[in-house]
Structure 1
Amino acid sequence: MSIVLAPDGVITMEIPHLLQLIEHNQFDTIYHEHFSYFSLFTVTSVFARHGLRLFDVEQLPTHGGSLRIYACHDEYPRHTTLPSDA
């Protein structure tokens, strides 16, 4: 994604909310087409290794709980990162 993303581009993805899945025993929400489940910490780390930075996240009710993440190139200053306690 970092290769094809424009210098001022934004990536948005919706991923299952792993913490909600575990805390509420929502194992019936696991589908065969979902090959992986990541925590927000893991997604942040994976993106950082590729020069990308998460600057926003929304919690959604989809499928018992999903996260919509927003990312940009790490060096792009226009998108400010949320404080870690947000």
Structure 2
Amino acid sequence: MQQQQQQQQQQRDQQHHHQQQQHQQQQHHHHHHQDQHQQQQQQQQQQQQQQQQQQQTADFQPRGVYGPCPPDQWTTTGLTSG
């Protein structure tokens, strides 16, 4: 669970960095054309984020003995029911 959150934050930092680079280019090129480009890039990055999230959950399941549930949740329910 924590790992996933960390990766999301990393991705957000990357997105920020990307946008800054894009800004610098904007000054040299026509605004209209660049605007379209930026939108496309944002969409692409969003797709990437979704893919990474899916991969992470798939990775997480076989590794843990708890199944699809995160260990945190498993221990709390185990304590209350046991």
TM-score w.r.t. structure 2 length?
Answer: 0.28
Q: Which has the higher contact order (CA 8 A, sep 6+)?
A: 1
Q: Which has the higher helix share?
A: 2
Greater Cα radius of gyration, structure 1 or 2:
2
